Amino acid sequence: MGISMKMIKVPDIPLEADCLNPSVTELKPADIARLKLWQGRTRVDVGEFFSVSGNDATDENELRIEGDLERVKRIGQNTSSGRLVVHGNCGMHTGEGLRGGEIEVHGNVGNWSFCLMQGGAARVFGDAGAFLAAAFPGDARGMKGGVLWVRGDTGPRAVERMRRGLLVVGGALGEFAAVEMIAGTVVSLGRLGSRAGASMKRGSIVVMGEHEPFLSGFEKSCVYSPTFIPLLGRDLAALGFIDNPSCFAGKFTRWCGDMTNLGKGEILVH
């Protein structure tokens, strides 16, 4: 048996809900209701804003949360195992520090969601705000691993200073995506925004749809069929991110850059 939580009171001041991740499924519902959240400078009980009960989930480590959560920050923070399913829009810092397990959001996520992501898998069936899985100011590295899929659009500066991992975006990928990218893979199925890959060192940006003009630090290299792209398409289909892996077949135009930095990155345009 898992745990279900439903919002019963929308907060007028945003809540800091860093304790609400699948690890709470080890507790009884009454104990979860007594956990503390920050609301401004005040500590409040979870039970003041959420009803808590058991559910019929086959996974005993599954936490389900439902409601208007746009004023609830840090849901799923530091998740390392189990499964979190959210029905509703989430606030800032959703899934921050994700290391393992799975997070599924049937709605939008706010700015700075999935920052410091190191592993696990996350699915967002709506849109994502700015700085998705990006590095915080002063941090040398952003996303360090894991798989992140967004069905809708993302805000600017997604996966800034990405070190490792995979980001797949079905809608529009905002400007300055993968800035200062160190390694990893970004797949844009919709429209790639302007200034993508600015100052990137290594890594791959795969463009399956339209795109804005690339920065002058990128040079057109060749037209070829990368051997890893069909394998990537197969894996994305297996994960349910795309329907038809055959769309990843064919030739791609390779742009090398950013020459203002190390210049060993690439943008592959279908």
Label residue 108 by pLDDT band (50, 70, 90): very high
pLDDT, tens digit (0-9, with 9 covering 90-100), for 112-167: 999 999 999 999 999 999 999 999 999 999 999 999 999 999 999 999 999 999 99
What pLDDT is attached to residue 124?
98
Residue 43 CB neighbours (<10 A): 10
Q: What pLDDT does residue 56 have?
A: 74
The C-alpha atoms of residue 30 and residue 127 are separated, in whole angstroms, by 33
Whether this model's pTM surpasses 0.85: yes
Q: Where does residue 174 rank: exposed (0-12), middle (13-18), buried (19+ CB within 10 A)?
A: buried
Peptide bond into 258 cis (omega under 30): yes
Interval 190-205: pLDDT, tens: 999 999 999 999 999 9
Over pLDDT 70: what percentage of the chain? 99
Residue range 73-102: average pLDDT? 97
pLDDT for residue 55: 80
Domain boundaries, the chain: 108-269
